[in-house]
Amino acid sequence: MKKYRNTIEFEVYGTYALFSDPVMRVGGEKTSYHIPTYEALKGIVESVYWKPTIMWIVDAVRIMKPIQTETKGIRPIAYNGGNELAYYTYLKDVCYQVRAHFEFNMNHPELEQDRNENKHYNIARRMVERGGRRDIFLGTRECQAFVEPCVFGEGDSYYDTMSGEVEYGFMYHGITYADEAILPEDQNKMTVRFWKPVMKKGGIIEFTRPEECVQKRHIREMQRRVFGEGNFTGLKEFVDEEVDE
Protein backbone atom coordinates (compact mmCIF):
# COMPACT_ATOMS: atom_id res chain seq x y z
CA MET A 1 0.00 0.00 0.00
CA LYS A 2 1.51 3.31 -1.08
CA LYS A 3 2.24 5.84 1.64
CA TYR A 4 2.34 9.46 0.50
CA ARG A 5 4.63 12.08 1.97
CA ASN A 6 1.63 14.01 3.33
CA THR A 7 -0.08 10.93 4.77
CA ILE A 8 -1.70 11.13 8.21
CA GLU A 9 -2.56 8.09 10.31
CA PHE A 10 -4.80 7.96 13.34
CA GLU A 11 -7.00 5.71 15.43
CA VAL A 12 -10.66 6.59 15.93
CA TYR A 13 -12.79 4.78 18.49
CA GLY A 14 -16.13 5.04 20.23
CA THR A 15 -18.85 3.13 22.05
CA TYR A 16 -21.23 3.09 19.08
CA ALA A 17 -21.18 3.75 15.34
CA LEU A 18 -23.93 4.01 12.73
CA PHE A 19 -22.92 3.95 9.09
CA SER A 20 -26.40 3.97 7.64
CA ASP A 21 -27.41 1.80 4.72
CA PRO A 22 -29.71 4.12 2.68
CA VAL A 23 -31.86 1.16 1.62
CA MET A 24 -32.76 0.45 5.25
CA ARG A 25 -34.02 3.99 5.97
CA VAL A 26 -37.27 3.65 4.03
CA GLY A 27 -39.33 2.73 7.09
CA GLY A 28 -37.81 5.46 9.28
CA GLU A 29 -35.38 3.05 10.94
CA LYS A 30 -31.62 2.81 10.48
CA THR A 31 -29.29 -0.16 10.18
CA SER A 32 -25.52 0.22 10.08
CA TYR A 33 -23.21 -1.34 7.55
CA HIS A 34 -20.74 -3.69 9.21
CA ILE A 35 -17.82 -1.53 8.07
CA PRO A 36 -17.36 2.24 7.85
CA THR A 37 -18.10 3.94 4.56
CA TYR A 38 -15.55 6.02 2.70
CA GLU A 39 -17.76 9.10 3.14
CA ALA A 40 -17.98 8.64 6.92
CA LEU A 41 -14.21 8.31 7.28
CA LYS A 42 -13.64 11.30 5.04
CA GLY A 43 -15.97 13.28 7.31
CA ILE A 44 -13.85 12.27 10.29
CA VAL A 45 -10.65 13.37 8.53
CA GLU A 46 -12.26 16.70 7.63
CA SER A 47 -13.28 17.15 11.27
CA VAL A 48 -9.62 16.74 12.17
CA TYR A 49 -8.55 19.38 9.62
CA TRP A 50 -10.23 20.85 6.54
CA LYS A 51 -9.55 23.69 4.13
CA PRO A 52 -11.14 24.23 0.70
CA THR A 53 -7.65 24.38 -0.79
CA ILE A 54 -7.17 20.64 -0.22
CA MET A 55 -9.25 17.51 -0.57
CA TRP A 56 -8.69 14.40 1.50
CA ILE A 57 -8.32 10.95 -0.03
CA VAL A 58 -8.93 8.08 2.39
CA ASP A 59 -6.52 5.30 1.44
CA ALA A 60 -7.42 2.53 3.88
CA VAL A 61 -9.07 1.55 7.14
CA ARG A 62 -8.12 -1.26 9.52
CA ILE A 63 -10.84 -2.88 11.65
CA MET A 64 -9.33 -3.39 15.10
CA LYS A 65 -12.16 -4.92 17.14
CA PRO A 66 -14.71 -7.65 16.37
CA ILE A 67 -17.76 -6.47 14.44
CA GLN A 68 -20.73 -6.46 16.81
CA THR A 69 -24.20 -4.96 16.50
CA GLU A 70 -26.75 -3.76 19.03
CA THR A 71 -30.35 -2.73 18.37
CA LYS A 72 -31.90 0.10 20.37
CA GLY A 73 -35.40 1.48 20.56
CA ILE A 74 -35.28 5.18 19.68
CA ARG A 75 -38.00 7.80 19.89
CA PRO A 76 -37.22 10.18 17.01
CA ILE A 77 -38.58 13.72 16.90
CA ALA A 78 -42.17 13.43 15.69
CA TYR A 79 -43.00 16.67 13.91
CA ASN A 80 -46.59 15.54 13.36
CA GLY A 81 -47.19 15.16 17.10
CA GLY A 82 -47.05 11.38 17.22
CA ASN A 83 -45.26 9.16 19.73
CA GLU A 84 -43.40 6.72 17.53
CA LEU A 85 -40.76 4.14 18.34
CA ALA A 86 -38.02 3.31 15.84
CA TYR A 87 -35.31 0.68 16.00
CA TYR A 88 -31.73 1.61 15.12
CA THR A 89 -29.07 -1.08 14.74
CA TYR A 90 -25.65 0.25 15.77
CA LEU A 91 -22.15 -1.14 15.67
CA LYS A 92 -20.88 -1.59 19.22
CA ASP A 93 -17.43 -0.91 20.72
CA VAL A 94 -15.63 0.08 17.53
CA CYS A 95 -12.03 1.02 16.83
CA TYR A 96 -10.45 1.78 13.46
CA GLN A 97 -7.04 2.77 12.17
CA VAL A 98 -7.27 5.22 9.27
CA ARG A 99 -4.71 6.25 6.66
CA ALA A 100 -5.37 9.29 4.43
CA HIS A 101 -3.52 11.88 2.39
CA PHE A 102 -4.49 15.16 0.77
CA GLU A 103 -4.22 16.62 -2.70
CA PHE A 104 -4.73 20.17 -3.85
CA ASN A 105 -8.23 20.94 -5.10
CA MET A 106 -7.75 22.22 -8.63
CA ASN A 107 -11.41 23.24 -8.80
CA HIS A 108 -10.45 26.32 -6.77
CA PRO A 109 -7.91 28.28 -8.85
CA GLU A 110 -8.73 31.32 -6.71
CA LEU A 111 -6.94 29.59 -3.78
CA GLU A 112 -3.69 28.94 -5.63
CA GLN A 113 -1.73 31.11 -3.19
CA ASP A 114 -2.75 28.78 -0.36
CA ARG A 115 -1.26 25.66 -1.98
CA ASN A 116 1.49 25.17 0.57
CA GLU A 117 1.82 21.43 1.16
CA ASN A 118 4.17 21.81 4.11
CA LYS A 119 1.78 24.16 5.89
CA HIS A 120 -1.29 21.97 5.50
CA TYR A 121 0.56 18.77 6.41
CA ASN A 122 2.02 20.22 9.61
CA ILE A 123 -1.34 21.63 10.69
CA ALA A 124 -3.10 18.33 9.95
CA ARG A 125 -0.48 16.40 11.93
CA ARG A 126 -0.87 18.71 14.92
CA MET A 127 -4.66 18.46 14.76
CA VAL A 128 -4.42 14.65 14.88
CA GLU A 129 -2.31 14.95 18.03
CA ARG A 130 -4.92 17.25 19.57
CA GLY A 131 -7.89 15.05 18.71
CA GLY A 132 -9.25 17.15 15.84
CA ARG A 133 -10.56 20.65 15.33
CA ARG A 134 -14.24 19.75 15.47
CA ASP A 135 -16.34 17.13 17.20
CA ILE A 136 -15.66 13.62 15.95
CA PHE A 137 -18.53 11.21 15.42
CA LEU A 138 -18.88 7.80 13.79
CA GLY A 139 -21.50 8.11 11.09
CA THR A 140 -24.08 10.07 13.04
CA ARG A 141 -24.11 12.82 15.64
CA GLU A 142 -25.12 10.66 18.61
CA CYS A 143 -22.10 8.38 18.10
CA GLN A 144 -19.34 10.47 19.60
CA ALA A 145 -15.75 9.33 19.01
CA PHE A 146 -12.14 10.16 19.82
CA VAL A 147 -9.05 10.46 17.64
CA GLU A 148 -5.47 9.62 18.59
CA PRO A 149 -2.26 9.35 16.53
CA CYS A 150 -1.13 5.85 15.56
CA VAL A 151 1.03 3.97 13.07
CA PHE A 152 -1.21 2.22 10.58
CA GLY A 153 -0.74 -1.54 10.83
CA GLU A 154 0.80 -1.59 14.29
CA GLY A 155 -0.99 -3.20 17.21
CA ASP A 156 -3.24 -6.26 17.27
CA SER A 157 -6.42 -6.52 15.26
CA TYR A 158 -9.14 -9.08 15.92
CA TYR A 159 -8.83 -10.06 12.25
CA ASP A 160 -5.07 -10.65 12.16
CA THR A 161 -5.58 -14.42 12.11
CA MET A 162 -8.48 -14.62 9.70
CA SER A 163 -7.98 -16.68 6.55
CA GLY A 164 -9.11 -15.56 3.13
CA GLU A 165 -11.07 -12.38 2.41
CA VAL A 166 -14.52 -11.03 3.23
CA GLU A 167 -16.51 -9.46 0.40
CA TYR A 168 -19.26 -7.02 1.34
CA GLY A 169 -20.98 -6.75 -2.02
CA PHE A 170 -22.57 -3.65 -3.51
CA MET A 171 -22.16 -0.79 -1.04
CA TYR A 172 -22.42 2.98 -0.82
CA HIS A 173 -19.04 4.67 -1.24
CA GLY A 174 -19.79 8.39 -0.96
CA ILE A 175 -20.90 11.58 -2.70
CA THR A 176 -18.85 13.68 -5.09
CA TYR A 177 -19.84 17.33 -4.83
CA ALA A 178 -19.15 19.87 -7.56
CA ASP A 179 -16.29 21.35 -5.51
CA GLU A 180 -14.28 18.12 -5.73
CA ALA A 181 -15.34 16.69 -9.09
CA ILE A 182 -12.33 15.54 -11.13
CA LEU A 183 -13.85 13.80 -14.14
CA PRO A 184 -15.41 15.98 -16.89
CA GLU A 185 -18.73 14.11 -16.72
CA ASP A 186 -19.03 14.90 -12.99
CA GLN A 187 -18.42 18.64 -13.29
CA ASN A 188 -21.22 20.86 -11.92
CA LYS A 189 -23.10 17.82 -10.59
CA MET A 190 -23.73 15.99 -7.33
CA THR A 191 -22.79 12.35 -7.86
CA VAL A 192 -23.39 9.34 -5.61
CA ARG A 193 -20.83 6.54 -5.84
CA PHE A 194 -20.93 2.79 -5.11
CA TRP A 195 -18.33 0.04 -4.91
CA LYS A 196 -17.67 -3.51 -3.69
CA PRO A 197 -15.33 -3.49 -0.66
CA VAL A 198 -13.17 -6.42 0.38
CA MET A 199 -11.68 -6.89 3.84
CA LYS A 200 -8.31 -8.62 3.76
CA LYS A 201 -6.28 -10.32 6.47
CA GLY A 202 -5.57 -7.98 9.35
CA GLY A 203 -8.96 -6.30 8.93
CA ILE A 204 -7.61 -3.98 6.21
CA ILE A 205 -9.87 -2.44 3.57
CA GLU A 206 -8.18 -0.45 0.82
CA PHE A 207 -10.50 2.15 -0.71
CA THR A 208 -11.07 2.84 -4.37
CA ARG A 209 -10.44 6.51 -5.19
CA PRO A 210 -13.66 8.49 -5.76
CA GLU A 211 -12.99 9.15 -9.45
CA GLU A 212 -12.25 5.44 -10.00
CA CYS A 213 -15.67 4.26 -8.81
CA VAL A 214 -17.29 2.83 -11.93
CA GLN A 215 -20.80 2.51 -10.51
CA LYS A 216 -22.26 5.94 -9.86
CA ARG A 217 -25.30 8.11 -10.48
CA HIS A 218 -25.73 11.83 -11.00
CA ILE A 219 -28.29 13.18 -8.52
CA ARG A 220 -28.70 16.80 -9.55
CA GLU A 221 -26.98 19.85 -11.02
CA MET A 222 -24.70 21.71 -8.62
CA GLN A 223 -22.38 24.70 -8.91
CA ARG A 224 -19.06 24.89 -7.12
CA ARG A 225 -18.45 27.54 -4.48
CA VAL A 226 -15.99 30.33 -5.13
CA PHE A 227 -13.77 31.38 -2.22
CA GLY A 228 -12.07 34.72 -1.75
CA GLU A 229 -11.19 37.45 0.73
CA GLY A 230 -14.80 37.75 1.82
CA ASN A 231 -15.34 34.13 2.87
CA PHE A 232 -11.87 32.57 3.29
CA THR A 233 -9.16 33.76 5.69
CA GLY A 234 -6.66 30.97 5.01
CA LEU A 235 -4.45 33.04 2.75
CA LYS A 236 -3.32 35.23 5.66
CA GLU A 237 -3.89 32.90 8.59
CA PHE A 238 -0.34 31.62 9.18
CA VAL A 239 3.10 33.16 8.96
CA ASP A 240 6.14 31.30 7.62
CA GLU A 241 7.73 30.46 10.96
CA GLU A 242 4.53 28.71 12.05
CA VAL A 243 4.28 26.42 9.06
CA ASP A 244 7.92 25.41 8.53
CA GLU A 245 8.50 23.71 11.88
List of E strands, the chain: 8-17, 30-31, 54-63, 69-74, 86-104, 146-149, 166-167, 171-176, 189-195, 198-199, 204-206, 215-221
Beta carbons within 10 angstroms of residue 208's beta carbon: 14
Other beta carbons less than 10 A from residue 3's beta carbon: 12
Q: What is the pLDDT of residue 29?
A: 80
N-terminal to C-terminal alpha carbon distance within the chain: 28
Residue 214: closest CA among 190, 200, 196, 198:
196
Contacts for 226 with CB less than 8 Å, ≥ 6 apart:
108, 110
User: How confident is the model over 189-209, as a mean pLDDT?
Assistant: 96
pLDDT for res 163? 87
What average pLDDT does the structure give for the chain? 90
Say what the pLDDT of residue 82 is. Answer: 65
Q: What is the DSSP letter of 81?
A: S
pTM over 0.85: yes
State the pLDDT at residue 79: 65
202-215 per-position pLDDT tens digit: 999 999 999 999 99
**Per-residue confidence band for 83, with pLDDT thresholds at 50, 70 and 90:** low
CB atoms within 10 A of CB 114: 21
Q: Which tens digits make up the pLDDT trace of 111-136? A: 888 899 999 999 999 999 999 999 99
CA distances from 241 to 117, 125, 160, 238, 245 (A): 15, 16, 43, 8, 7
pLDDT value at 102 more than 90: yes
Summarize the confidence of residues 87-111 as an average pLDDT: 95
pLDDT in tens, 28-73: 788 999 999 999 999 999 999 999 999 999 999 999 999 999 999 8
21 pLDDT band, cuts 50/70/90, is confident
What pLDDT score does 241 carry?
A: 42
Could you tell me the residue ranges of all domains in the chain? Answer: 8-170+203-210
Q: Which candidate, 110, 96, 105, places its Cα nearest to that of 9?
A: 96
The CATH class, in words, for 8-170+203-210 is alpha beta
